[in-house]
Structure 1
Amino acid sequence: MPVSTVPSKATEASIKVSNGLKDSHQSPKNTLVIGIVAGEVSGDSLGADFMAQMNNLRDDIVWVGVGGSQMQAQGLQSIFPLSRLAVMGLVEVLSQLPDLFKARRELLTAFAAANIDWFVGIDAPDFNLRVAKKLKPKGVFCVQYVSPSIWAWRESRIHGIKAATHLVLCLFPFELPVYERHDHPAICVGHPLLHTMDQTLIETPINQLRSELVWHNDGLQQFFIERFDNVSQLICVMPGSRRGEITAILPLMLDGIQRLLLLDPKLCFIIPTVDQNHQYIVQDVIDQRTEQLRSAIAVIYDESQPAFSQQAMAASDMVMLASGTATLEAMLLERPMVIVYQLNKLTFELAKRLVKVPYVGLPNILAGDAIVPELIQEQATGDNICRTVLRVLQPRAYGEQLQDLVTTKQILQQQSNHDSAHSVVEQWYMQTKG
């Protein structure tokens, strides 16, 4: 069975699950008991969406596991707080290992008491795959939602994934071939941004978006009132959300901006931040620069608008950004971009040896081509940033990149047309019913 397609018995499977039919080897109960674990805040929304889809299929599901407020709103009584699993960084993980082992034991005990039928691990593969490996031999149908990055490095991890799961739900189509090579079921259900992105940000004229953005933000009102009718282009700058990224990448971007302002003093820049603390960090870096540069950049955080960074990108002519999910957001918003990224030299040299893909930006990985300029490591200089931004802003280059982004976006949408709940139901039916 091709891993990238949904089984042909989809309708039959959905009907049977909706009617509450169960495998003969499972306990004789009418309810479907699903264990589900989100290991971090980003997984809470994914888990909640999956739960909502399943709750629409049938109304007697019992949810057991760990999740945040969104998953709890869908019926999960979390065994313990999600924050207990949301540990990042090698040192932090090592110090929390005893409690993580204890948390796993508590989960397995709760799952055994609940006699779960399925286990769905949302991201956090280091934790969830270890849980699944204990459950799969006991007859629990195990799903990993969000593939580990085996498509990029350490493909040998596929053997552990196969031992722990019956199905992997992938966010991107380029993740599927590795599973196909190793004959393990995987389905591309698409990145949640494909479903949650506000379409009005794409359909509304940019001038209207810009007016609305400024109108609803006092800081931007003050910034633009001094530049009324005196702006040539607006560029959204996103140096990353981690402090290490900001301190490493923002100074390089500012070097480029300084040179751009010498060539076009009417350029304006906006930096949306994820919270007020990041706003202070970014502003401190900028305050060390010249008056001309400081006056051309607005650093804004707006807690009243959860998708403020997307609004800022949509209202801008182009985006200068670090690698990451923001590159996917910019592509979905159909905004041309330039990627700037720099790692610690030792980390970069190690990554070069391990990572198999030639690009860092998701649009380029998805397209299989350098449709977006990437200025990485020694290429990330002020001169190169300045030249590349000016080149992208030229009408012909701008139009060509925009067309490439739209084409790549359309292909991604076509290849991500399976919803997560039906995908799991169908695969469960195929593997248990034959």
Structure 2
Amino acid sequence: MQEIKIGIVAGEVSGDILGAGLVRSLKQSYPNARFFGIAGKQMQEEGCETLIDMEEISVMGLAEVIKHLPKLLKIRRTVIDKMLSEKPDVFIGIDAPDFNLDIEMKLKSQGIKTIHYVSPSVWAWRQKRIFKIEKATNLVLAFLPFEKAFYDKFNVPCRFIGHTMADTIALKPNRLDACKILNIDPELRYMAILVGSRGSEVEFLTEPFLKTALLLKEKYPDLHFLVPLINQKRRQQFEEIKSRIAPDLDLILLDENARQAMIVAEATLLASGTAALEAMLCKSPMVVGYKVKPITYMLAKRLVKAKYVSLPNLLADELLVPEMIQDDCTPEKLAQALSVYLDCEESAVQKRQQLIQRFTMLHKSIQCDADLQAAQAVVDMIEDKDKMENVDNE
């Protein structure tokens, strides 16, 4: 049997994690396969060859992309030339659609099968991108069922594989273990505050979130606040704002460990994004808050077609958790919404239990062993290609 060759490009740390799981699962079917492209540390540890350091293409923000555009275009050309030279059995672009879709389009036009792993948010905004995705890919691998439903409307091949995060988080997370990891007293009451991973999110959300904490501390004096921060830069930014807004408010600042904080917390206040899905999987009742510049919000209102902004609500197709966006993202409204979870009355306890039950059902719906599902999709494509080539040769 000839060597199986799989081209693969990951553009950032999250893609490297997905790629490592995919490579590991593919080796069960193809133990001697060769993997090459752009890989981070975890993919390289699984045996994937990398043409360049993945950090070279981990660029975010319009200004940063423009600044690095000549370098990015040169790297993309290098990847395309390598793939056309090696002719892999399949090429997999992991996320990074602005970088990967153009590679996929070129390779597909030259007869190389392409898979895009992680659907861009076409169901939410810039929906016409689906026509480019159709031209560029033979298959999209989607984490969430409503993503596949959107692709089905346009007859674009898509496979729902479940979400890797749903596989790694237990259906019933262990609060005591999380407390041990954080080195905190499990007998105390906690609320988690996640101000986001981007500098702009920390800038816009820290003030209303801290003022919300001040209101809640007045109402619930026994409440303690856990604030996980993604890196030192965001921590410094947060601490500078806190020194102005709430210098005397006691907080437990954490280096990362957002997942453990949400497992421990009775409620979580967070920025919209993947963190909301993670909070749902951690079974943490949440309130989603978000603010941006007024002009950005006006543009987003015109462009975004989704009914809700948070993934738990999109999965449930109903307003399961409160979304306080822009003018609604005020300390008073956020505190009122969180009080529903934090009150000790029987009605509040019941509401928490009902919400956790819904979260568990949604968790089960996307817990599908995504690494293996993704690997099987790749195997199926390679085997279909082999069958077609055998027919052509007869």
TM-score in terms of structure 2 length: 0.91
The answer as to 2:135 corresponding to 1:186 is: no
* Partner residue in 1 for 2:215: 259
* 3-state SS of paired residue (1:294): coil
| Alpha-carbon distance between aligned partners in 2 of 1:117 and 1:210, rounded to the nearest angstrom | 43
| Alpha-carbon distance between aligned partners in 2 of 1:417 and 1:277, rounded to the nearest angstrom | 32
Q: CA deviation at 1:80?
A: 1.1
Counterpart selection for 1:75 from 47, 55, 72 = 47
Once the two structures are superposed, residues 314-345 of structure 1 have per-residue CA deviations (whole angstroms, 9 ceiling, x without a partner) of: 11111111111111111111111111111111
Counterpart selection for 1:364 from 300, 310, 313 = 313
Once the two structures are superposed, residues 377-425 of structure 1 have per-residue CA deviations (whole angstroms, 9 ceiling, x without a partner) of: 1111111111111112221322232222222222233696961010122
1:111–1:406 distance in 2 versus 1, CA, 3 Å: same
Calculate the aligned-residue CA RMSD, in Å. 2.2
* Partner residue in 2 for 1:353: 302
Q: CA deviation at 1:39?
A: 1.4
**Partner AA of 2:230 in structure 1:** V
1:405–1:274 distance in 2 versus 1, CA, 3 Å: same
Counterpart selection for 1:244 from 184, 200, 203 = 200
**Partner AA of 1:246 in structure 2:** V
The answer as to 2:58 corresponding to 1:86 is: yes
| Alpha-carbon distance between aligned partners in 2 of 1:54 and 1:151, rounded to the nearest angstrom | 29
Counterpart selection for 2:145 from 173, 181, 187 = 173
* 3-state SS of paired residue (1:413): coil
The structure having more radius of gyration, on CA atoms, is 1
| Alpha-carbon distance between aligned partners in 1 of 2:239 and 2:177, rounded to the nearest angstrom | 25
Once the two structures are superposed, residues 17-59 of structure 1 have per-residue CA deviations (whole angstroms, 9 ceiling, x without a partner) of: xxx4xxxxxxxxx101111111122111111111111111112
* 3-state SS of paired residue (1:148): coil
Counterpart selection for 2:249 from 287, 291, 294 = 294
Once the two structures are superposed, residues 49-95 of structure 1 have per-residue CA deviations (whole angstroms, 9 ceiling, x without a partner) of: 11111111112211221111111112122111111211111111112
| Alpha-carbon distance between aligned partners in 2 of 1:431 and 1:60, rounded to the nearest angstrom | 19
* Partner residue in 1 for 2:79: 107
1:317 touches 1:335 (CA, 8 Å); kept in 2? yes
Q: CA deviation at 1:428?
A: 4.2
Map 1:330-341 → 2, pairs under 5 A: 330-341=279-290
* Partner residue in 1 for 2:345: none
| Alpha-carbon distance between aligned partners in 2 of 1:85 and 1:149, rounded to the nearest angstrom | 20
| Alpha-carbon distance between aligned partners in 2 of 1:415 and 1:73, rounded to the nearest angstrom | 21
* Partner residue in 1 for 2:122: 150
| Alpha-carbon distance between aligned partners in 2 of 1:133 and 1:310, rounded to the nearest angstrom | 37
1:85–1:209 distance in 2 versus 1, CA, 3 Å: same
The answer as to 2:351 corresponding to 1:397 is: yes
2:292 touches 2:326 (CA, 8 Å); kept in 1? yes
Q: Which shifted more, 399-408 or 386-395?
A: 399-408
2:143 touches 2:366 (CA, 8 Å); kept in 1? no
Map 1:406-421 → 2, pairs under 5 A: 406-413=360-367, 419-421=373-375
The answer as to 2:290 corresponding to 1:318 is: no
| Alpha-carbon distance between aligned partners in 2 of 1:404 and 1:63, rounded to the nearest angstrom | 40
* Partner residue in 2 for 1:212: 180
* Partner residue in 1 for 2:70: 98
* Partner residue in 2 for 1:387: 336
Which stretches in structure 2 are left out of the alignment for 5+ residues? 343-347, 389-394
* Partner residue in 1 for 2:392: none
| Alpha-carbon distance between aligned partners in 1 of 2:179 and 2:76, rounded to the nearest angstrom | 50
* 3-state SS of paired residue (2:128): helix
| Alpha-carbon distance between aligned partners in 1 of 2:293 and 2:104, rounded to the nearest angstrom | 35
Percent identity of equivalent pairs: 34
1:67–1:418 distance in 2 versus 1, CA, 3 Å: closer
* Partner residue in 1 for 2:238: 282
**Partner AA of 2:96 in structure 1:** A
**Partner AA of 1:282 in structure 2:** F
**Partner AA of 2:212 in structure 1:** G
Counterpart selection for 1:426 from 347, 359, 380 = 380
Which stretches in structure 1 are left out of the alignment for 5+ residues? 1-19, 21-29, 303-307
Q: CA deviation at 1:210?
A: 5.8
* 3-state SS of paired residue (1:155): coil
* 3-state SS of paired residue (1:79): strand
